Amino acid sequence: MDRKIKVGVYGATGYTGFELLKLLLGHPRVSLEFITSETYQGKRFSQVFPCAIDKELVASEKADPSGVEAVFTCLPHTTAMQTIARIDRPDLKIIDLSADFRFEDPAVYQQWYGTTHTAPQLLSASCYGLPELFRSRIARSRIVGNPGCYTTSVILPAAPLVAGNLLEPGCEILADSKSGVTGAGRKAELAYNFCEVDENILPYKVGRQHRHVGEMESVLGALAGDNSLRVVFTPQLAPWSRGILSNLYLRTEAPAARIRAAIEEAYRGEPFVRVLPEGQAAHLNWVRGNNLCVIGVHPVPGTRTVVISSAIDNLIKGASGQALQNFNLVFGLEETTGLAIPSVRA
């Protein structure tokens, strides 16, 4: 029987933490050693979420990372890097689901998150964790900065066109994204109450205000070799529990067939990306509860615009499923281990 990899989870009682626990407990190579919560320490997980996971929650300071080979940090930004700096050791693999290790440059992190990075010495050991683009680097890294949910839904469809220089010079990437309420986290705030969200849709931080814009521009700008690349982003809170639907509006003079071919070639053989047939748009029913990103390609006749649609589950491909994908890579496992691959039909 294959050896079990001992794992701990910091911050297990958010929505992403819950999804991660379900995935880890179904992973054939994982032994879950501890789970933490400051709010619910001393309780069993089944007392927080009505489920069959009956493991005790401990305070972060009381968890013993010396006995594990990997940890997942499902903590708020700044809290994550403080915890990681405290527990870090050369043989510990860390998958961080916060924003703290998504940027190579601590100045860019400070620009978008409004706070100084307190563990810049660890950034050289980290890698941006989007497997489809940075698989080999992730496999060699000790700390993986798991991407944001909105950013995953925008970067994956845009990357082949940016990297292939298929957009008009100076073209701004216009991204319209709608997310279910779990994307806001598990917290009691008026804006996320049922009566506020039901039968409503709420644009917020329109333009270049949302923190994920910095992440999108950093990654796509590096792929394009153009630090001036800009993303105009409209995130919207939508009246469903989970899933992100993004539509990108891009200016290009390339023929429609070339645009489609570039995206299909980039993701040929990728287990968790599906490029849909011509005329088919992405939608949420294909991705809820799984680790897929589905992409639709829509040329607009009579214009120089192409619309790219994409859909992901914000809690899976946008967070916990992608984190498990990265875990598999850093331990040299088959990338799909513990992650079901559903079929997608047009």
Q: Comparing C-alpha atoms, which of 135, 136, 175 is closest to residue 153?
A: 175
- The confidence band for 184, taking pLDDT boundaries of 50, 70 and 90, is low
- What pLDDT shows up at residue 342? 76
- The confidence band for 156, taking pLDDT boundaries of 50, 70 and 90, is very high
DSSP state at residue 239: S
Residue tagged 């999108």 (tokens): 216
- For 156, phi and psi rounded to 5 degrees? -60, -50
C-beta atoms surrounding 17 within 10 Å = 27
Is residue 171 flagged as an active site residue?
Answer: no
Give the CA diameter of the chain: 63
Q: Are 294 and 311 a contacting pair, CB within 8 Å?
A: yes
Residue tagged 């599906």 (tokens): 274
- The confidence band for 52, taking pLDDT boundaries of 50, 70 and 90, is confident
Q: Is 209 exposed, middle or buried (0-12, 13-18, 19+ CB in 10 A)?
A: exposed
Any idea which of 110-124, 175-189, 289-303 has the lowest mean pLDDT? Answer: 175-189
Residue tagged 């079901």 (tokens): 340
Q: Are 236 and 176 a contacting pair, CB within 8 Å?
A: yes
- What pLDDT shows up at residue 2? 83
Three-state SS for 37? Answer: coil
Cα angle 214, 112, 181; round to 5: 80
Query: Which residue is catalytic, options 127, 149, 171, 293?
Result: 149
> Residue 105 and residue 222: Cα distance in Å, rounded?
12
pTM confidence score? 0.95
Q: Is the pLDDT of residue 257 over 90?
A: yes
| Cα-only R_g, the chain | 20
- The confidence band for 218, taking pLDDT boundaries of 50, 70 and 90, is very high
For the chain, percent of residues with pLDDT exceeding 70: 96
Cα angle 176, 258, 130; round to 5: 50
- What pLDDT shows up at residue 187? 58
pLDDT tens, residue by residue, 76-115: 999 999 999 999 999 999 999 999 999 999 999 999 999 9
pLDDT tens, residue by residue, 186-213: 655 666 677 777 788 899 999 999 999 9
C-beta atoms surrounding 199 within 10 Å = 6
Strand order in the sheet with 70-73: 57-58, 30-36, 5-10, 70-73, 93-96, 143-145, 126-128
Q: Is the pLDDT of residue 286 over 90?
A: yes
List, in order, residues 6 or more apart from 266 with CB less than 8 Å away: 132, 159, 160, 163
The residue that leads in pLDDT, 320 or 169, is: 320
DSSP state at residue 79: H
> Residue 12 and residue 144: Cα distance in Å, rounded?
18
Distance of CA 194 to the CA centre of its chain: 25
Q: Is 202 exposed, middle or buried (0-12, 13-18, 19+ CB in 10 A)?
A: middle
In the chain the beta strands, taken as DSSP E runs, fall at: 5-10, 30-36, 57-58, 70-73, 93-96, 126-128, 143-145, 173-179, 202-203, 231-237, 244-251, 273-275, 293-299, 305-312
- What pLDDT shows up at residue 346? 44
- Kindly give the pairing relationship between strand 30-36 and strand 70-73: unpaired
Q: Are 124 and 145 a contacting pair, CB within 8 Å?
A: no
